Chain A
Amino acid sequence: MKPDGISGVQPEPSTNPWLSGLLIGIVGLYIALLLGIPVVNIFYQAFREGIPAFLQHLTERELLSALRLTVLTALVVVPLNTFFGLCAALALAHRRFPGRALLLSLIDLPFSISPVVAGLMLVLIFGRQGWLGSWNLRVIFAFPGIVLATAFITLPFVAREVLPVLEEAGTEEEEAAKTLGANSWQIFWRITLPNIRWGLLYGVILTNARAMGEFGAVAVVSGNIIGRTQTLPLFVEDAYRSYATGSAYAAAVVLSLLAVVTLVAKELLERGSPSRRVF
């Protein structure tokens, strides 16, 4: 009688086509309204006047100088935070010491602080009336301010991606290398780095995406001087406000391509490891 008992198990809910169809429909509609249609709209608006018009908007001087500033900022911030994130992850992995939890949540701080508040903090340090205001460092309303704000916002990404990989890899291989006489530099290059390379790469990609797209923190410190301290995301807002919709969408397409590259890279890197990540 046993086989009967097994076949008597009710079918799983997923086999009910009505219910699953309804749920898929609801989710599909929600995502289309919130994400799908807005994305299609970016490209529709950018190319609605044809490709020549798009190219003309794309090569406007203000847009190009904003793009240059954004790329330059990323070129400074990404290596800086990659180095810092790697150091932080190496220092925090496999070690338990008092204050470790505090340090971990401190590193995560930029995730939970509003970018605007982050920018405000920098103004309070480096601004005219700030702590270091009397030193007359040209930080606020200048390139160093943009770099600092971006670096603050993107600080956690590399450490956050590398740390779990390091913890998972364990210390056995490194210890084996040590007993075989490898020095710490060799251990890092030959063992640690190959172990964490995908996590590191992913962290770098996320850092770059955020660095190029950051708006709130940069808006506070940059002063938004057209052609000088205006990054590409700031250009988008400025163009939209001055009814230069074509230029706004041309810049938006450039930034969207950055997002597409990021998502594709994420997809490729995730194929190797089964674990899902929350940014």
Chain B
Amino acid sequence: MLALPLAALIAKSSSVGWAEFWRIATDPVALSAYEITFVTALLAALVNGVMGTLTAWVLVRYAFPGKKLLEGLIDLPFALPTAVAGLTLATVYSSNGWIGSLLAPFGIRISFTRLGVGVAMLFISFPFVVRTVQPVLQELERDVEEAAWSLGASRWQTFWRVVLPQILPAVLTGVALGFSRAVGEYGSIVIIASSIPFRDLIAAVLVIQRLEQYDYAGATVIGTAMLGISFLSLVVINLLQAWGSRHET
């Protein structure tokens, strides 16, 4: 079930031949699709690295009205089918949508541009950082922070020197998980983007376009390139998790 499909992909891409593989993999349309996919996914994951940490912090440390609702909304991107996410984001962020219409006067268009790809990626990768950081933050020893304050450290120093080093492995794990999810995302992006090459065409959509043209070699080569990145981020995630649990047992 798992190994056979993988073998089929690798067999097919190796049957193409090196020179041909390289030509397809570095075709300008493909290169631009990788760049749009990976750079946008990385930016989205990093933004969520900051916002997710902040969200986890707010949820763990503060009590405020509406906290339950906020807490419940966080897992929504995990549970909501991506087609629905794409549909509603495309509407809300289109130039006559609720949020898009506020930005349109400034010449900012989100739906059907690369910004739209970014918004969809922000949406689907949001919960990862919150959910990896939250448990770590909950178990932090408050004494250490109190010790830092009593020794005269400022709030910012305490966060920067005491809290952040302890939660950093969790933050980076969440960023890597979010990145890997955003890179592979298809459903929401195909709806919110116009999928025009060099503008907002992502790698996953390119694979489908190649398949629709019965260009199996092309689809396979690009799919293999994406797979390589997935494996790389898997390795990074495992390393980060090992780093995060280095003090345990």
- Chain A interface residues toward B at CB < 8 A: 8-10, 12-14, 16, 19-20, 23-24, 26-28, 30-31, 33-39, 41-42, 45, 84, 105-110, 112-118, 120-125, 127, 129-131, 151-152, 155, 209, 212-216, 219-220, 232-234, 236-237, 240, 248-249, 252, 255-256, 258-260, 262-263, 266-267, 275-279
Contacts and interface: CB of A to CB of B under 8 A. Distances in A.
A233 B78 contact: no
B8 interface: yes
Nearest to B177: A278
Given A34-B119, A120-B223, 15 more contacts: A12-B145, A31-B55, A33-B99, A112-B233, A112-B234, A114-B183, A115-B187, A116-B207, A117-B184, A117-B226, A152-B5, A220-B211, A252-B83, A256-B84, A259-B84
Interface residues of B, number: 86
B3 interface: yes
B187 A233 contact: yes
Contact of B82 (A106, A152, A233, A249): A233
27 contacts: A16-B155, A24-B64, A28-B66, A31-B55, A31-B70, A37-B98, A105-B234, A106-B2, A110-B2, A112-B234, A114-B227, A116-B208, A117-B184, A120-B220, A123-B216, A125-B8, A131-B8, A212-B81, A215-B83, A233-B81, A237-B86, A237-B187, A252-B84, A252-B88, A255-B84, A258-B79, A263-B75
Interface string B139-150: 000000110011
Interface of B: 1-6, 8-9, 11-12, 51, 54-55, 57-58, 61-62, 64, 66, 70, 72-92, 97-99, 119, 122-123, 126-128, 131-132, 134-135, 145-146, 149-150, 155, 158-159, 177, 180, 183-187, 190-191, 203-204, 207-208, 211, 216, 219-220, 223, 226-227, 230-231, 233-234, 238
Nearest to B57: A23
Given A105-B234, A237-B86, A155 B1 contact: yes
A41 B91 CA distance: 8
Contacts of B187: 115, 215-216, 219, 233, 237
A236 B211 contact: no
Summarize B's interface: helix, strand, loop or mixed.
helix
A151 B135 contact: no
A112 B230 contact: yes
A263 B20 CA distance: 47
A230 to B, nearest CB: 12
A127 B70 CA distance: 45
B80 A255 contact: yes
B126 A34 contact: yes
B4 A151 contact: no
B186 A115 contact: yes
Nearest to B72: A263
Contact of B216 (A36, A115, A129): A129
Contacts of A122: 5
A82 B11 CA distance: 30
A125 B62 contact: no
Contacts of B78: 279
Contacts of A113: 184, 227, 230
A202 B186 CA distance: 26
Which of B2, B74, B128: most chain A CB closer than 10 A? B2
